[in-house]
């Protein structure tokens, strides 16, 4: 493999409700992070996985993941991008391709990881997995009056893993002054093109309790 995967997993999971940090919440008896790392390790391109864990749980996460795959665990930061930066800092310079994958997208199939890695390998600086937007999207004013309907056909919902030529991701992170919700966003600000490849319904982000219920059902289906 020629790919390192950085896994931000240090979030609290506030929208999921009270309980353990989200990456350590259980889905069919196993932490979300275990589901995520197992699927990453099953992708042949992946040489190395670095997890940014909640600071208080670094030791526990290392012990949890050691039987699953060889991983390096580092303490994450207060913001997602700080967690990504902390994990990126331990990826050796000679690894040519870096993917960033949310632990919360724990059912992402290895085929998506391979598709993203392959697109970077074949020359793209930055690659994101996307899906068409299914809802009608309206732009509204501050007082919730509709200003207009956005043309849905030019919109995409963005997933992870997002893939980068390693030097491009490093440069984007160093240049990023203000916060960004995804890593491709920091690359866009450098004026570097970001290419889209098909994502997967299985790469949904576990965010609210409904998502956990859906993921439980998806796990029981033949494919995941």
* Site for ligand CTP, rule CB under 6 A: 8-15, 22-23, 52, 76-80, 83, 102-104, 205, 207
Nearer to Mg ion, 11 or 185 (CB): 11
Nearer to Mg ion, 11 or 163 (CB): 11
CB of 212 to ligand CTP, least distance (A): 12
Nearer to ligand CTP, 15 or 152 (CB): 15
Q: Which does 79 bind (CB under 5 to 8 A by kind): Mg ion, ligand CTP, none?
A: ligand CTP
Q: Which does 134 bind (CB under 5 to 8 A by kind): Mg ion, ligand CTP, none?
A: none
CB under 8 Å to 48, separation ≥6 — which residues? 1, 3, 4, 5, 70, 72, 91, 95
CB of 83 to ligand CTP, least distance (A): 3
The helix/strand/coil state of 109 is coil
User: Positive or negative, the Cα torsion across 123, 126, 128, 132?
Assistant: negative
Q: Which helix (H) or strand (E) holds 214?
A: helix 209-219
Residue of 128, 108, 121 whose CA lies nearest to 43: 108
CA distance 110 to 72: 20
CB of 80 to ligand CTP, least distance (A): 4
Q: Which does 35 bind (CB under 5 to 8 A by kind): Mg ion, ligand CTP, none?
A: none
Structure tokens at 218: 């998806």
CB of 101 to ligand CTP, least distance (A): 8
CB of 158 to Mg ion, least distance (A): 15
Tell which positions 5-24 bind Mg ion, by CB under 5 A. 11
Residue 223, burial from CB neighbour count under 10 angstroms (0-12, 13-18, 19+): exposed
> Euclidean distance between the first and final Cα of the chain, in Å?
23
Nearer to ligand CTP, 77 or 109 (CB): 77
Nearer to ligand CTP, 13 or 199 (CB): 13
CB of 100 to ligand CTP, least distance (A): 9
Q: Which does 13 bind (CB under 5 to 8 A by kind): ligand CTP, Mg ion, none?
A: ligand CTP
CA distance readout (Å), 7 to 23, 43, 53, 121, 142? 10, 15, 9, 20, 35
């Amino acid at each position: 493999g020629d790919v390192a995967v950085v896994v931000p997993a240090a979030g609290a999971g506030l929208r999921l409700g009270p309980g353990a940090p989200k990456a350590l919440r259980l889905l069919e008896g196993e932490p979300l992070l275990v589901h995520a790392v197992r699927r990453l390790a099953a992708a042949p391109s992946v040489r190395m996985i670095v997890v940014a864990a909640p600071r208080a749980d670094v030791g526990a996460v290392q012990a949890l993941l050691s039987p699953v795959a060889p991983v390096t665990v580092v303490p994450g930061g207060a913001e997602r991008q700080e967690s990504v930066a902390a994990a990126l800092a331990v990826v050796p310079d000679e690894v040519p391709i870096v993917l960033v994958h949310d632990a919360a997208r724990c059912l992402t199939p290895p085929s998506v990881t391979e598709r993203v890695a392959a697109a970077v390998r074949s020359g793209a600086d930055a690659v994101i997995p996307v899906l068409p937007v299914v809802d009608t999207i309206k732009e509204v004013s501050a007082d919730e009056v509709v200003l207009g309907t956005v043309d849905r056909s030019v919109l995409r919902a963005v997933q992870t893993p997002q893939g980068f030529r390693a030097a491009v991701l490093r440069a984007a992170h160093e240049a990023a002054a203000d916060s960004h919700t995804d890593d491709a966003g920091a690359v866009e600000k450098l004026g570097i093109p970001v290419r889209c490849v098909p994502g997967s319904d299985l790469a949904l982000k576990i965010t609210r309790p409904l998502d956990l219920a859906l993921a439980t059902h998806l796990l029981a289906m033949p494919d995941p």
